[in-house]
Amino acid sequence: MINNSIYINLTQIEKAVSRATHSFSGSQERWEETPAGISDTQLLARIAEEFGIQGGGSMENGWVEYIGGNNPRLIVQDEDFNTIAQLKGRGLITAVRTVIFEKLYKKQPEQLTLF
């Protein structure tokens, strides 16, 4: 489950990542079931799935737009529509790993143990 008290301490870009990755019903459950050790390729596919074709809207102090498909990307704008961040590829993967696995759901990759 998402720790809502943590959400208020996220940066504007992190809030945009959270919003874009939770835009469809059932997203929280899907992220809870997604292992933190998911490969970058699999994670990019999950991001594209959660972004859908395209979406966006207003958020505190600005706007967010997200585009799915083969090249998922996230655009964050301030209240005057100036782009403050555009995330895609490695930058988007890193941002989603940070927001989803480290901040919202507090998940760690599973460790292999040898006996």
| Contact between 81 and 101 (Cβ < 8 Å) | no
Please write the tens of the pLDDT for every residue from 37-91.
999 999 999 999 999 999 999 998 899 999 999 999 999 999 999 999 999 999 9
Percent of the chain at pLDDT exceeding 90? 71
pLDDT at 110: 60
Range with lowest mean pLDDT among 6-15, 18-27, 40-49:
6-15
SS3 call for 57: strand
